[in-house]
Amino acid sequence: MTTARNISSNRIFHNADIGFSEAGIPFDPSRGGEAPPDGYVRPQIVDMQVDVLHFVYGIYRLTLRDEDIILDGRAEYFIFWRSFDGIFEELSDDARSVVFISDTYTTADRNVDIIVGVGDTFGNTHTMRIAGLKGNF
């Protein structure tokens, strides 16, 4: 069961049944169906912005800017985030910007892992693993 609660009109999601948190639109393989048009470029994440909001507590703002994603304008796209090491707060309706808050069990000597992905209505996805961010002190 996925639970959500409003925090200053943004959303936080945590899937307690399997222990991970997610934000955005989770990938669903049934989204695809029709073949993409000739010359279609699959979505790809090439970079992202990471801002440290609170180093001691392991709080980060993660943002995908326009220049961070390769998108073909002939499909709708969606963004998703996932981690076993904390929770997300969505800062934008399209989930391009989130705040990640490390779980209290993480420690400064342990990196937290975050997956960010972009997908399209043709069923293509691309993910990037974010590593090297520190957990809670």
Residues 4-42: pLDDT tens digits? 332 333 344 444 444 567 777 765 655 556 788 899 999
The domain spans of the chain are 2-24+41-134
pLDDT, residue 99, reads 94
Tokens of 81: 């985030």
8 Å CB contact between 113 and 83: yes
User: Position 109: which residue type?
Assistant: D
Look at the alpha carbons of 95, 23, 54, 50 in this order and tell me if their dihedral is positive or negative: negative
pLDDT-flagged residues of the chain (< 70)? 1-20, 26-33, 106-109, 136-137
Angle CA 97–101–103, to nearest 5: 150
Q: Which CATH number fits domain 2-24+41-134: 2.60.40, 2.40.240, 2.40.70, 2.60.120?
A: 2.60.40
Q: Which of 97, 117, 90 is nearest to 51 (CA)?
A: 97
pLDDT, residue 12, reads 43
Q: Which of 131, 94, 137 is nearest to 114 (CA)?
A: 131
- pTM for this prediction: 0.77
pLDDT, residue 15, reads 45
